[in-house]
Structures are given as structure tokens and as C-alpha cells.
Chain A
Amino acid sequence: MAIPFIIDDSTSNDLLYNEPRGLVPRDYNLYPRTMFQSPPDDMPLIPESEWDARIDEQEERESSLEHIFNRLAKRLNIAVPFTHQNGAGFCWSYSTGNATMLDRAARGLPYVRLNPHAVASIIKGGADEGGWCGLSAKFLVEVGIPTEEFWQVHSRNLRQDTPEMRANAALHKLTEDWIDLKASVYDRNLTRQQLATCLLNNIPCAVDYSEWAHSICAGRWVRIENGVYGPRIMNSWLGWGDNGWGTINKNWDVDSAVALRVTGASCV
């Protein structure tokens, strides 16, 4: 088995900062935590003592989102099954868009290529500007996300914002979510436990890292070495990591995190 791609202190900056990213950290004054749904206080959390067993189980039975993603790519013979931002500063929209596609894959829904460029372009009025994952998630809740058939790939042309496009986007709405994993500064540890719980349960999450100025889609919780764990992410950069995947082993804080529990189950 090939050694998985891991981002740690030895990773060169070329692999981390050369591509455009686009994270603008969330302004909690403008966007307070109460604006989104949060996990219930009694959300069952998987304790750290169970992580090893669950991780081993996922590896043995090949049941993680990464395994599902790889099976889908193989079955459909798709070289690049995820979407990539192509130099635009729209990572904050691709993180939620790719998470939606991962959720669809896990549910066995027909493979459709969603277009996060449409979401970011509409929110930013056609400008190439940064944002944070909760912003695109809000749009996914209210409007949805169209497929590439209804919005040209990597285009920011707002003339494509038609009723037909909106109708298609509505089929891929985020209908149930935990928008805010508890990312407040005073309780980082809870965020980590919530993130681990979601990923071990195959609930994809969009995660913002301010140190990286980047938003990515986390799809799996892995053991890096004994007692050291981290998220395995699907980046939105073409030709990066293990077919888009890499493991984060950095002491980065999660600035904001969105769990995407249920998205529209339409066939188109």
C-alpha cells in the first residue's frame, strides 16, 4: 500500500500555498453562531477511546467515504471524480460542494457533477473573492447547487443564473445539517470530537483552517500514529495528494466547520 499523503511540519510550502485558496475567516459578529443549526447538546459523540476500533473497522471493511469515493471512481472510470477550483479563490464553496457529492456517493445516488463555482459566483456577484464554508452552506440551504449542465464549469458569468438553473439547484439543497460544529475558541476540543464523530459516521464536513487560509472537505478520520489522529481531506486542487486526498497532521485550529448530513436525493 502506498504511503498516504500527509500534511505535517515537513511538508513544503509549495504543496500548501502555491494554489489559490480563498478563505476569509468568519466574522462571528456579522454571522453569529445562532444563525445556523448546531448539533444538539446530546449529540452522541464517539469517545476517543473508541477511535482506534472504529478506524480499524473502516479500514478492514473499506467503509469510509474515501473508500466509497475510490470505488465510485473505479466503477465509473472517472479520472477526477471531485470538482476543483481551477485557480479561483472559491475554496469555501468547493469544500461544501465536494462534501455534497461525497454524501450522494455514500447514499448510492446517481453521480452528478455539481458546480460550486455557480454558488460562489452568485454570492460574490461574479467577483473572484474569498469567503468561508458557512457562507456557501447557507446558500446550499436556501437555494441549492446546480449541476455542470446548468452552469458552465469554472465560469463566473451571472447570466447563467436563470430560473431553470435555480430549479436544478433546488434539487441539491442541503436539507439537514449541522452547520456549526462548535468551533468557538473556548471549546476547540469539542469541535475535534464532533468532527471525529461525524467523519467516523461518514458525515462529510467542510472545514476552514485559518492558518492555511483554506477551506476543504474532510471525509475521513484517521490514525496517523499511535495516539495521533487527524482528518483526511479531499482538497479542491487538481493533481494534489492521493488523487485529491491528504491527511492533516498539523496543529491547526478549526476556524469553522459545517457537517452536511442530508442533501437532496434527486436523480438529476
Chain B
Amino acid sequence: MNFLQTVLAMLAALLLKDAGYSLWQRVPAGFDWRGWAAWGATKAKPVANAGAMVLGYGVLALVLMQAGRGCTLPPLPPIPWPVPPGPAPTPQPPTPAPIEIDGFAVLIVEESGDRAKLTIGQHAAMFGKTCNDYLDEKCAADPYGKNTKAHRILDKDVSLAQIGAAWEKAMKRPRASVPWLVVSHPKRGGFEGPLPEKEEDTIALLKKFGD
């Protein structure tokens, strides 16, 4: 008997057991066992139903056992032996860095005419001290500007003349909405998505790439 047959047999046994238990539960108190021995002498309807149930379950079990005959299962895969440690694989960034600057860089694309629609948290993330101090500390030196760190807030329709090739490319990437946040680190990948509504969420997101 193979594995599948064993399982089917066990299933059939369980069905039979279940049927027997149902039969026992349906026997009324003070049941006349002698009368029952002479089949049909009792008027207890549940007993008659239980008998049919036993018959049904039995047939089903036989069918299942028959169906399982001759079946085979695919062989189990061999258990691999432990491999001695070698050089660690190079971790791949989750997504390609969207700003081609050698270091942590951040871009926020906005529609300046809609600033009144910004949440307080978005306004704080764009202009507040906490976020800007963090960016000033962590961002790479901007290769296109003297004494400037690589974080910008640009209007979606701004002229791209002499803006710097990396920023120009980043501005041409697809966006679904504004304000739009682009975070980039050459070794840690990047994030592109709507600017979170809360300043804390923006800072948490920045720290995933900047720390």
C-alpha cells in the first residue's frame, strides 16, 4: 500500500467512525436492543436513518480506497547537505536609485499653485527645520552647485535649463501626482511616491535610505 492509499484508508476509517458515533447519539434512552435485533420491530426513526448513513459512508469509503489503488506520489527531493560558507552575495538595492547622484539625494516635485492644499505635515517636511537639517546633514554634496546639498523642491513645470543632468533626468521620470517624493541612494535603491501627509512618515522614509 502506498502513501496515498494509506491516507485514503485512514479517511475512510474516520468516516466510518463518524457514522458509528452518529448512530450511537441517535439511540434513544431505554432503547429496546432486543427488539432492534429483530430489524424493523422498533419505531425509532433515527435508527433507520443511521443505518442508511452507515451504508452510505461505507460505500464512499470503498470507492475512495479503490480510487487510491495504484496511485504513486512523486519522490521526495533529496535533503541538501550544508554548504560551507563562501563569499557573501552582493545585496541588491530594492529599486534602482532614481537620481543619478553619488550619494543620498532627495527631490520633491510640487505644484506651487496648489500649496494651499498641502497638509501641515507636508508643508513641514518641505520647509521645516527638522527635515531640512536632516537632509543638510545626510545628503551628498550637490555636484551642480557650490555649498549645496543634494535636495531640491521643484515645481513640476519649472524650466530645466542648467538644472543639472541628474535633476533633469529625475524630473522626467513618471509621476502619478504632486507633491511627489523621490528618494535615492546608489547602494540602497530608491523610493518614488506621493509625499506622505505626516512629517514623521516622511522622515521615517528618508531615514530608510539616508541613515
B163 touches A202 (CB 8 A): no
Contacts A61-B128, A265-B154; A176 near B144 (Cβ below 8 A): no
Tell me the count of chain A residues lying within 8 A, CB to CB, of chain B.
38
Least CB distance from B101 to A in Å reads 13
Residues of chain A within 8 A (CB-CB) of B114 are 44
Q: B120 touching A175 by the CB < 8 A rule?
A: no
Tell me if A267 and B112 are in contact (CB < 8 A). Answer: no
Q: What is the CA–CA distance of A170 and B159 in the complex, to the nearest angstrom? A: 10
A157 within 8 A of B: no
Interface residues of B in 113-165 (CB under 8 A from A): 113-118, 120, 123-124, 126-130, 132, 135-136, 142, 144-149, 151-155, 157-164
Q: In the complex, what's the smallest C-beta–C-beta distance from B201 to chain A, in angstroms?
A: 15
Q: Which residues of A contact B159 (CB under 8 A)?
A: 173, 175, 264-266
Q: Give the tally of cross-chain contacts (CB within 8 A).
A: 112
How far is it, in angstroms, between the C-alpha of A111 and the C-alpha of B146 when the chains are bound?
8
Assembly CA distance A45 to B151 (angstroms): 29
**How would you classify the secondary structure of chain A's contact residues: helix, strand, loop or mixed?**
loop
Is the CB–CB distance between A265 and B128 below 8 Å?
no
When distances are taken between beta carbons in the complex, the residues of chain A under 8 Å from B112 are: 176, 203, 261-262
Contact B116 A197 (CB under 8 A): yes
Beyond A108-B148, A109-B145, is A61–B130 a contact (Cβ under 8 Å)? yes
Cα A107 to Cα B127 with chains together (Å) = 8
Q: Report Cα–Cα, A156/B164, bound state, in Å.
A: 32
Size range of the chain B interface in the assembly: 35 or more
Which A residues touch B161, using CB under 8 A?
A: 170-171, 264, 266
Contact A202 B152 (CB under 8 A): no
Cβ of A265 and Cβ of B147 under 8 Å apart?
Answer: no
Complexed CA–CA distance, A261 and B155 (Å): 9
Once the chains bind, are A111 and B147 in contact (CB under 8 Å)?
A: yes
Let me know if A265 and B157 touch, CB within 8 A: no
Whether the pair A176, B155 counts as a contact (CB closer than 8 A) is yes
Q: Nearest chain A CB to B107's CB is how many angstroms away?
A: 9
Point out the residue from B117, B123, B152, B157 that lies within 8 Å of A109, measured CB to CB: B152
Task: Provide the bound-state CA to CA distance between A107 and B159, in Å.
Answer: 14
Q: Mark B186-208, 1 if CB is under 8 A from A, else 0.
A: 00000000000001000000000
5 A-B pairs with CB atoms under 8 Å apart are A43-B116, A57-B123, A111-B145, A176-B112, A262-B155
